[in-house]
């Protein structure tokens, strides 16, 4: 015989305005095995909780039903309350008579009251069969994995390492830094990005707690929060980085010249190369697709000139295994390919470039030392047209979203162009100007007023080559005209999309993404740096387009989540998980196929299902799919559910 | 110039008629101007194509129906192909023309075409011209 | 091989040069274009209002004729016919209610239409049925050294769901021109509207459009224009008289239907090309390139 206490909350008028609470208390008090029933204004308040605690002790209750709001809101509150006075928290249940009763039947008070009683009675039936469960505890490996070495990954790694935990930073390119290192100057301060980022990069390279694995990619992840096993592929660079001192002689001697990815194909690099002079690590990589030895079996000039014998053409990829407790995904962004846009030439015009290409042309250390010469003939452009929103805000053909940063970098680029070519003219075709950061609006007005950039409000319908000029057909909706400009150079602000390979990685890690490949956060407002999967955190543009200050803030936020995870020595896992009755199980395997978390496997020898209690998230799918009833969920057994159904159908 | 707007002309029968005939939601247009930017006939128009939608939204029936624009439109579908919101402006223009034509008012009446022109132009020009412009 | 052929009004009169050269070329390539019996006007221009079902009767009736001819495909040459037939076909294929209403309206027809016919353009036949490489093989006189501006106009390519090729960067005419040995220039004005039916009441508009298109082609060193629509043909060819009146410095440029160049390259007699129907005489250009003989 149980001794159950029922506590009914008014929730102000939310419940009491529709449900006759006194009547419910009276009816419920007479229900079998209920020894105490009462009501209160706000059960979740301190006095409300105290009342529950007192009554548990006084009436020696062995089970508590709180009839109130949704479990999502206060299940934890009430379970903690009863646990504090020695009652097992899983002997406490919430009967939702607000969201599922008073809020949806506001015009039917009598029926709502009847229904509330039934909800409480059903919950009592469930509670009678609830077992006093003990949460499982798992140890936490206090090491973090950060995937992506751009500014987000760099910041997160430094924050976690500075808190005293070890970090493994994996970056697919041969140097960390990401796109920020390609930029010319950053808005709104016109800081040199290489100057502000390289100190952080050096810190990462030298930090005793950071293990930097550059030119590497995550191959496989298994396990669960606090206990991940990660396989990382260290790609063959064909240079022994332990022997190499970064002297650069091999790069000087290499005869091959191919288009440079870092310089957005505006200049050439060698087949053995580093990305830029301040690279961390500052060690070269051989591009086997273009190296003369790998393609034709000749040359080997780099090897001949390396006195430290650091060149190793036989080097193979290697796999490294690491154990970590938390993973931050900071894989960043790329620009949409301009070759996808038909009305702007499908990428075939040399003098129609994208924003990143202009960054390289404007960068003082770039291929043209900061003067934006036309890629086609090297002349200085006197009239430059900037087109915003290319591929963005276009639900019909490309991406419906706004890429957030283009308005700001376009005005910055137009200003830098004017500083480099003072007698030139910059035009910007825009739809709206989005300047929502600190100092951004002032920066825009400075650009317009001081550098006299002409802003034309309208999109561009078509651009094409006319002689050695690029004809631009745009609109100025403020005067209702079609505007034609014969430009020397056209710069497209292409849509921001997730980094190449990010989608595949998300699939490997089983992380939720949206339709465009951006990682999905646990809650868009209140949990922006956590993913839906426990143990994975998000930082930077991998989650959505954003600028550098937001990226750095988010990276620190993700790092602090990791720190709080690591502050515990043990993690508690909810025990409302699936359970197999081996005597009943016939080994059909339905549960294995249906589990979204890979938490069930079929033991090949005994032919029985086996649940991994730490990975199981208690979703109930396997219990529903089990044809024999062998699989049941703790405190959600078939019997419990039927008892609840009986209350409603009688 | 000053234009007073209120629920009367924003929720006008004119807008309803245009949306019904064209099966387009005019509120999907965010006035980006791409249609105007690509329109080959804009030099002969008095109001730019994108502005026509704006005026319909503001309930300015007379100004729109009296414009040259809706009759200069050649239904080339360039705007339709490029509109980022998928608004079929060619259908909107047709709806606006039809509002006048269906009152039995010709824009071009067959008898007004000079004899020399009739014998000069190919049949297809006459067929399509009269289909578009006569009641 | 035989295929049903829909000529449309103008191909039988002012644009007979288009029809004759097409039929002759296809016949040489092994395809017999069988004119649809009892065809009627295609119903151009496709009606853009939602409630205008009566205007779909003309195009759908033509598709019934195709069914009666026991064929499932019909080929059109004129861009406007192609566009109207194809769009009407798509409308009824996607809306059973409209199709039923149309069949009821045409109750006196022996056959009902149920979306069985596919509307094709001759260029599609050349690309997919014959293949441009096969065309190349049959070319007797490659049109070497002839620089041509391929012109598509509007209705062949737009809207994208009934278009023949990519509306921003089509290549089908270029592929054809290259298969017959000619050189197609890069021509951004290839998809710009010629002014269409405004040629009846607003000649100035057409003159402006045509002038822009032709001048750009000439500035890109094109020696001829090639196209596929009798209305575009009239606006770009015949209206050169009015263009010259408004722009005295304008240099004329011959305009061909693509089948005329095809027929020439296949070695067919000049007569099937009916060059006398081209307004700007193309013969001096062709003679200078030694594609035709005579003085």
pLDDT exceeds cutoff 90 at A573: no
A459, A471, A495, best to mutate vs chain B, most B CBs in 10 Å: A459
Q: What is the pLDDT of residues A9-46, one digit of tens each?
A: 999 999 999 999 999 999 999 999 999 999 999 999 99
B134-to-C49, C83, C202 alpha-carbon distances in Å: 15, 21, 15
Contact of A5 with A61, CB cutoff 8 Å: yes
Could you tell me if C160 lies within 8 Å of chain B, comparing CB atoms?
yes
Going from N- to C-terminal start, the domains of chain C cover 2-122, 140-288
Mark yes or no for CB contact C209/B41 under 8 Å: yes
Q: pLDDT class for A596, splitting at 50, 70, 90?
A: confident
Q: How big is the CA angle at A237 (ends A235 and A239), to the nearest 5 degrees?
A: 140
Q: pLDDT class for C94, splitting at 50, 70, 90?
A: very high
Tell me which residue of A237, A243, A244, A215 sits closest to A315, measured CA to CA.
Answer: A237
Tell me which residue of C210, C230, C214 sits closest to C277, measured CA to CA.
Answer: C230
pLDDT for residue A614? 82
Tell me which residue of A224, A229, A491 sits closest to A381, measured CA to CA.
Answer: A491
The chains in contact with chain B, meaning 3 or more Cβ pairs closer than 8 Å, are A, C
Q: In angstroms, rounded to a whole number, what is the distance separating the alpha carbons of residues A577 and A568?
A: 22
Tell me which residue of A444, A471, A439 sits closest to A455, measured CA to CA.
Answer: A444
pLDDT exceeds cutoff 80 at C281: yes
User: Under CATH, which number does the domain C140-288 receive?
Assistant: 3.40.50.11810
Mark yes or no for CB contact C209/B98 under 8 Å: no
Stretch C106-134: mean pLDDT: 95
Distance between A513 CA and the closest CA of chain B, angstroms:
24
Contacts of C96 (CB under 8 A, 6+ apart): none
Backbone angles phi, psi at C54, to 5 degrees: -60, -30
Distance between C90 CA and the closest CA of chain A, angstroms:
20
A399-413, A612-626, C67-81: least confidently modelled range: A612-626
Mark yes or no for CB contact B50/A343 under 8 Å: no
pLDDT exceeds cutoff 80 at C295: no
Q: pLDDT class for A265, splitting at 50, 70, 90?
A: very high
pLDDT for residue C48? 94
Residue C224, number of CB atoms within 10 A of its CB: 22
The pLDDT mean for chain C works out to 94
Strand-pairing partners, residue C209, are none
Q: Is the C-alpha dihedral spanning C15, C21, C27, C29 positive or negative?
A: negative
**3-class secondary structure for chain B?**
CCCCCCHHHHCCHHHHHHHHHHCCCHHHCCCCCHHHHHCCCHHHCCCCHHHHHHHHHCCCHHHHHCCCHHHHCCCCCHHHHHCCCCCCHHHHHHHHHHHHHCCCCCCCCHHHCCHHHHHHCCHHHHHHHHHHHCC
Contact of B76 with B40, CB cutoff 8 Å: yes
Q: In angstroms, rounded to a whole number, what is the distance separating the alpha carbons of residues C63 and C114?
A: 10
Which residues of A are less than 8 Å from C186 in CB distance? 465
pLDDT for residue C294? 57
Q: Is A384 in a helix, a strand, or coil?
A: strand
Every domain of chain B with CATH number 1.10.1060.10 lies at 7-103
B91-to-A91, A304, A366, A565, B9 alpha-carbon distances in Å: 65, 71, 50, 58, 22
CA C188 to chain centre: 19
Q: What is the pLDDT of residues A288-325, one digit of tens each?
A: 999 999 999 999 999 999 999 999 999 999 999 999 99
Contact of A378 with A410, CB cutoff 8 Å: no
Q: What is the pLDDT of residues C169-182, one digit of tens each?
A: 999 999 999 999 99
pLDDT for residue A630? 94
Which residues of C are less than 8 Å from A467 in CB distance? 219
pLDDT exceeds cutoff 90 at A604: no
Q: What's the CATH architecture for B7-103?
A: Orthogonal Bundle (1.10)
- C-contacting residues in B 19-58 (Cβ below 8 Å): 20-23, 40-41, 43-44
A462, A463, A469, A490, best to mutate vs chain C, most C CBs in 10 Å: A462
The pLDDT mean for chain A works out to 95
Nearest chain B residue to C235 by CA: give it: B121
Q: In angstroms, rounded to a whole number, what is the distance separating the alpha carbons of residues A148 and A128?
A: 51
What's the ipTM?
A: 0.93
Sheet with strand A318-324: strands edge to edge: A216-224, A227-234, A318-324
pLDDT exceeds cutoff 80 at B116: yes
Q: In angstroms, rounded to a whole number, what is the distance separating the alpha carbons of residues C180 and C137?
A: 9
Stretch B35-55: mean pLDDT: 96
Q: What is the pLDDT of residues A547-563, one digit of tens each?
A: 999 999 999 999 999 99
Contact of B75 with C48, CB cutoff 8 Å: yes
Mark yes or no for CB contact B124/C10 under 8 Å: yes
Mark yes or no for CB contact C158/B77 under 8 Å: yes
Q: What is the pLDDT of residues A315-357, one digit of tens each?
A: 999 999 999 999 999 999 999 999 999 999 999 999 999 999 9
CATH C-level class of C2-122? mainly alpha
Nearest chain A residue to B84 by CA: give it: A394
Could you tell me if C7 lies within 8 Å of chain B, comparing CB atoms?
no
Mark yes or no for CB contact B122/C10 under 8 Å: yes
Could you tell me if A349 lies within 8 Å of chain C, comparing CB atoms?
no
pLDDT for residue A410? 97
Stretch B92-111: mean pLDDT: 95
């Amino acid at each position: 015989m149980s001794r159950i206490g029922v506590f009914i909350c008014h929730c102000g008028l939310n419940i009491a305005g529709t449900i006759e609470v006194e009547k419910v208390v009276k009816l419920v008090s007479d229900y079998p095995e209920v020894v105490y029933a009462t009501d209160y204004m706000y059960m979740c308040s301190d006095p409300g909780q105290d009342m529950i605690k007192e009554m548990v002790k006084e009436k020696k209750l062995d089970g508590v039903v709180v009839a109130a709001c949704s479990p999502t809101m206060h299940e934890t509150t009430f379970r903690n309350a009863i646990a504090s006075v020695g009652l097992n928290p899983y002997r406490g249940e919430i009967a939702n008579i607000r969201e599922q009763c008073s809020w949806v039947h506001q015009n039917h008070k009598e029926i709502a009251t009847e229904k509330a009683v039934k909800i409480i009675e059903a919950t009592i039936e469930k509670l009678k069969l609830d077992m006093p469960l003990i949460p499982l505890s798992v140890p936490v490996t206090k090491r973090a994995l950060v995937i992506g070495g751009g500014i987000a990954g760099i910041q997160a790694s430094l924050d976690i390492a500075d808190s005293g935990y070890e970090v493994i930073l994996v970056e697919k390119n041969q140097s960390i830094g990401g796109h920020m290192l390609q930029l010319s100057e950053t808005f709104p301060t016109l800081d040199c990005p290489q100057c502000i980022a390289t100190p952080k990069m050096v810190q990462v390279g030298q930090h005793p707690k950071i293990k930097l694995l550059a030119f590497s990619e995550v191959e496989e992840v298994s396990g669960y929060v606090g206990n991940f096993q990660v396989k990382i592929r260290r790609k063959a660079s064909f240079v022994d980085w332990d022997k190499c001192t970064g002297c650069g002689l091999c790069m000087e001697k290499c005869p091959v010249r191919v288009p440079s990815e870092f310089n957005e194909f505006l200049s050439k690099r060698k087949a053995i190369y580093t990305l830029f002079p301040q690279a961390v690590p500052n060690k070269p990589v051989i591009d086997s697709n273009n190296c003369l030895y790998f393609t034709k079996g000749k040359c080997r000039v780099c090897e001949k000139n390396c006195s430290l014998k650091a060149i190793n053409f036989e080097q193979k990829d290697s796999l490294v295994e690491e154990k970590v407790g938390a993973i931050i995904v900071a894989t960043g962004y790329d620009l949409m390919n301009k070759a996808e846009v038909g009305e702007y030439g499908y990428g075939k015009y040399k003098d129609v470039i994208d924003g990143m290409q202009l960054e390289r042309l404007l960068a003082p250390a770039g291929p043209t030392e900061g003067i934006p010469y036309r890629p086609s003939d090297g002349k200085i452009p006197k009239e430059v047209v900037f087109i915003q929103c290319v591929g963005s805000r276009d639900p019909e053909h490309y991406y419906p979203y706004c890429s957030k940063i283009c308005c700001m970098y376009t005005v910055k680029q137009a200003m830098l162009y004017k500083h480099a070519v003072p007698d030139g003219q910059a035009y910007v075709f825009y739809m709206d100007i989005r300047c929502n950061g600190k100092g951004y609006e002032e920066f825009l007005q400075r650009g317009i007023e001081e550098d006299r950039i002409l802003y034309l409000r309208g999109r561009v319908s078509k651009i094409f080559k006319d002689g050695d000029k690029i004809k631009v057909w745009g609109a100025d909706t403020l005067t209702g005209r079609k505007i034609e400009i014969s430009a020397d150079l056209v710069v497209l602000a292409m849509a921001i999309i997730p980094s190449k390979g990010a989608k595949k990685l998300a699939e490997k890690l089983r992380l939720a993404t949206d339709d465009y490949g951006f990682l999905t956060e646990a809650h868009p407002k209140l949990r922006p740096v956590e993913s839906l999967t426990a143990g994975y955190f998000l930082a930077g543009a991998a989650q959505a387009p954003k600028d550098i200050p937001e990226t750095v803030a988010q990276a620190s936020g993700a790092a602090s989540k990791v720190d709080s995870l690591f502050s515990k020595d043990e993690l508690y896992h909810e025990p409302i998980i699936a359970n197999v009755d081996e005597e009943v199980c016939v080994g059909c395997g339905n549960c294995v196929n249906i589990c979204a978390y890979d938490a069930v496997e079929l033991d090949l020898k005994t032919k029985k299902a086996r649940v991994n209690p730490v990975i199981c998230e208690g979703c109930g799918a396997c219990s529903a799919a089990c044809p024999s009833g062998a699989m049941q969920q703790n405190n959600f057994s078939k019997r419990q559910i039927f008892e609840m159904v009986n209350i409603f159908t009688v | 110039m000053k234009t007073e707007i209120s629920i009367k002309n924003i929720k006008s029968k004119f807008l309803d008629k245009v949306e019904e005939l064209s099966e387009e939601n005019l509120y999907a247009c965010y006035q980006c101007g791409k249609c105007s930017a690509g329109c080959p006939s804009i030099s002969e128009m008095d109001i730019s194509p994108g502005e026509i939608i704006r005026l319909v939204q503001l309930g300015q029936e007379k100004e729109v129906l009296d414009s040259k624009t809706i009759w200069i439109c050649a239904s080339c579908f360039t705007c339709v192909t490029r509109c980022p919101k998928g608004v079929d402006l060619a259908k909107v223009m047709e709806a606006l023309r039809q509002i006048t034509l269906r009152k039995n008012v010709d824009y071009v009446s067959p008898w007004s075409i000079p004899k020399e022109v009739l014998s000069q132009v190919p049949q297809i020009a006459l067929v399509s011209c009269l289909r578009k412009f006569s009641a | 091989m035989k295929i049903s052929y829909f000529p449309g009004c103008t191909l039988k009169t002012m644009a007979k040069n288009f029809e004759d050269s097409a039929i002759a070329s296809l016949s040489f390539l092994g395809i017999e274009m069988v004119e649809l019996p009892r065809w009627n006007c295609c119903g151009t221009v496709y009606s853009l209002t939602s409630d205008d079902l009566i205007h779909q009767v003309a195009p759908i009736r033509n598709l019934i004729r195709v069914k009666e001819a026991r064929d499932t495909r019909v080929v059109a040459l004129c861009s406007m016919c192609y566009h109207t037939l194809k769009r009407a076909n798509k409308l009824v294929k996607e809306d059973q209610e409209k199709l039923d209403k149309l069949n009821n309206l045409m109750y006196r027809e022996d056959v009902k239409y149920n979306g069985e016919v596919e509307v094709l353009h001759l260029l599609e036949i050349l690309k997919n049925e014959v293949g441009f490489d096969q065309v190349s093989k049959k070319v007797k006189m490659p049109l070497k050294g002839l620089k041509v501006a391929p012109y598509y106009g509007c209705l062949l390519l737009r809207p994208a769901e009934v278009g023949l090729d990519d509306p921003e960067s089509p290549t089908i005419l270029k592929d054809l021109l290259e298969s017959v040995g000619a050189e197609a220039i890069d021509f951004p004005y290839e998809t710009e509207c010629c002014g269409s039916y405004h040629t009846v009441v607003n000649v100035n508009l057409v003159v402006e459009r045509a002038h822009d298109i032709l001048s750009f082609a000439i500035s890109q060193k094109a020696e001829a224009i090639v196209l596929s629509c009798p209305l575009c043909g009239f606006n770009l060819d015949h209206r050169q008289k009015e263009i010259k009146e408004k722009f005295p410095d304008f240099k004329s440029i011959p305009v061909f239907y693509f089948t005329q160049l095809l027929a020439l390259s296949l070695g067919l007699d000049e007569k099937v090309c009916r060059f006398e129907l081209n307004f700007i005489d193309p013969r001096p250009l062709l003679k200078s390139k030694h594609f035709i003989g005579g003085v």
